[in-house]
Amino acid sequence: MIDLKKNPIGIYEKAIPNKFNWEKKIEVAKKAGFDFIEISVDESDERLSRLEWTDAERQELRKLLKKNNFHIRSMCLSGHRRFPFGSKDEAKRNRAYEIMDKAIKLSEDLGIRNIQLAGYDVYYEDSDAETKKMFIDGLKYSAKAAARANIMLSIEIMDTEFIGTISRCLEYIEEVNSPWLQIYPDLGNLTQWTSTPSLELEKGFNHIVAVHLKDTKPGVFKCVPFGEGTVNFPKLLKKLSELCYTGPFLVEMWADNEKDYTIEESICEIKNARLWLEERMGDDSSNVG
């Protein structure tokens, strides 16, 4: 077993209020004791436009990170939910490939090491054998493009049954068969799709490159405060310790953007979440899961 408190721990960008600029987001994350931020490139026009940042905009963010001795180590690329590889709409499918190429370039420019892919063949369309095949084609293309840039891709264990478990994800990892495509389990999502999440972690351990820490409960996959869901963090974290997991953790939570946060309030909110989780690293108690 190892001490998981020594693992790097990051915070999801959306845990910090949208009203803060990047300089303030970095300040909040660093003062709350985090090692890095996971940037969001979701399906909104606003965040997809980040893929079009100019060289000057990219350099400005890198200067801020260097000035504060901080990092954006991973990207949550959920823009493929709107433009999926498996879409039967050719225009959407072409956009999926364009998003992938631009996300890899942005990652190169910002020093991002891991791009988290959404594990959906399609989201707003019906899934079938054709959408699944086109999704696999997209993964194969992405893995080759990422390899050229020396950037890891990882499929998130999602909030839908399609890739809701590590076992299901392994089907795609084995089909693509690339060292540049691995697994990013979300302990919250995993808990809701299997009664044996610890065994799932063990089964896919050699492919796990990062772990999301998020609480969930049946049918509710977002905005569940830590401790109010059914995720057995002590048990799952103990399993990761036994497996000698030394990779990064990412605390996934969401700020209430209807609230007018101060810097101090935002720091306190995410710091408390980090401390709550760290208290359960090495705790051998047993709850649900």
CA of 228: how far to CAs of 10, 61, 136, 231, 232, in Å? 21, 36, 36, 9, 11
Q: What is the mean pLDDT of residues 42-56?
A: 98
In this structure, CATH architecture of domain 4-279: Alpha-Beta Barrel (3.20)
What per-residue confidence (pLDDT) applies to 289?
36
pLDDT interval class at 285 (50, 70, 90): very low
Asked whether the beta carbons of 261 and 270 are under 8 A apart, the reply is: no
3-class DSSP assignment, residue 256: coil
Closest CA to 169 of 149, 186, 144: 186
Task: Domain ranges for the chain, please list them.
Answer: 4-279
The total of other beta-carbon atoms located within 10 Å of residue 209's CB is: 18
What per-residue confidence (pLDDT) applies to 287?
41
pLDDT interval class at 283 (50, 70, 90): low
pLDDT interval class at 241 (50, 70, 90): very high
Closest CA to 230 of 238, 239, 219: 219
pLDDT of 288 > 70? The answer is: no
**Cα 125 from Cα 120, distance rounded (Å):** 10
**Cα 149 from Cα 62, distance rounded (Å):** 18
Asked whether the beta carbons of 107 and 151 are under 8 A apart, the reply is: yes
What per-residue confidence (pLDDT) applies to 282?
74
Q: What is the mean pLDDT of residues 94-109?
A: 98
**Cα 170 from Cα 203, distance rounded (Å):** 9
Return the residue matching tokens 């208290």: 279
**Cα 257 from Cα 254, distance rounded (Å):** 9
What per-residue confidence (pLDDT) applies to 187?
98
DSSP states along 11-39: EEGGGS-TTS-HHHHHHHHHHTT-SEEEE
Q: What is the mean pLDDT of residues 73-81?
A: 98
